[in-house]
Chain A
Amino acid sequence: GEDVEQSLFLSVREGDSSVINCTYTDSSSTYLYWYKQEPGAGLQLLTYIFSNMDMKQDQRLTVLLNKKDKHLSLRIADTQTGDSAIYFCAEATGAGSYQLTFGKGTKLSVIP
């Protein structure tokens, strides 16, 4: 079955880079997503990458995809205290499928 794994906690100092890792098992994934959940709020789509891409950069965010190893990472440059949140990795499988399988989320804590 489908499974998405990510570490539960990450702590970084303000100004440093954060790297959140995620592994998935379904090789037929079409889209892979990163969502951010701030306390008491819903999920906010940060970025997504098509499965035929290796990298996507959007301002401070860089997504790397290693399809061979089924490994996805999110790098946040110059991490700020406002980046403290839970980050969810998710995969979508099947043509036209928006049914996502989520990881358990990585709680990012930024130390001032």
Chain B
Amino acid sequence: GAVVSQHPSRVICKSGTSVKIECRSLDFQATTMFWYRQFPKQSLMLMATSNEGSKATYEQGVEKDKFLINHASLTLSTLTVTSAHPEDSSFYICSATTVEGGKLFFGSGTQLSVL
């Protein structure tokens, strides 16, 4: 099946620093990638939709200047958490669709801890 690689799996950073998370589709071209955030005991919340070569579409309440998304190629999307604060600590997951559509394939997630 289609594989989505997400890196890093875990990151600890100091407050005020920026963190970049990468999401790669390894064996297929992903025209659309999604970024989700999961709080403990909460469901996944969609943060933004990223289409290759265009600006990301952010969900209501998600700060686009805080969570920078770049989708420069059909196999790579990045999420940068800028000036991270402890409240940004969470589990971030990316997903991608295949050209055929109808299925979402997920990365393994990134646990971000901001001290």
A8 / chain B contacts, CB cutoff of 8 Å? 41
Main secondary structure of the interface of A (DSSP, over half): strand
Number of B residues, CB within 8 Å of A: 22
Complex Cα gap A105–B44 (Å): 9
Interface pair B43/A98, CB less than 8 Å apart:
no
- Which residues B42-61 have CB closer than 8 A to chain A? 42-44, 46, 49
Q: A98-B34, A99-B49 are in contact. Are A45 and B105 (CB under 8 A)?
A: yes
Give the total number of A-B pairs whose CB atoms are below 8 A apart.
Answer: 48
Q: A42-B109, A45-B104 are in contact. Are A98 and B41 (CB under 8 A)?
A: no
Contact of A100 among B6, B32, B41, B46 (CB under 8 A): B46
Main secondary structure of the interface of B (DSSP, over half): strand
Q: Does B97 contact A (CB under 8 A)?
A: yes
In-complex Cβ contact of A43 among B41, B42, B102, B106 (8 A) = B106
> CA separation between A64 and B34, bound complex, in Å?
27
Inter-chain contacts of B107 with A (CB < 8 A): 42
Contact (Cβ within 8 A) A42 B6: yes
Contact (Cβ within 8 A) A31 B109: no
Contacts of A98 in B (CB 8 A): 32, 34, 97, 101, 104
Q: Interface size class for chain A?
A: 20 to 34
A42-B6, A42-B107, A42-B109 as given contacts; A102 in contact with B43, CB under 8 Å: yes
Interface residues of A in 83-110 (CB under 8 A from B): 88, 96, 98-105
Does any Cβ of A come within 8 Å of B70's Cβ? no
Q: Are B41 and A104 in contact (CB under 8 A)?
A: yes
What are 20 A-B residue pairs whose CB atoms fall within 8 Å in the complex? A4-B43, A42-B6, A42-B106, A42-B108, A43-B93, A44-B106, A45-B103, A45-B105, A45-B106, A48-B102, A48-B103, A88-B44, A98-B32, A98-B104, A99-B49, A100-B46, A101-B46, A102-B43, A102-B44, A105-B43
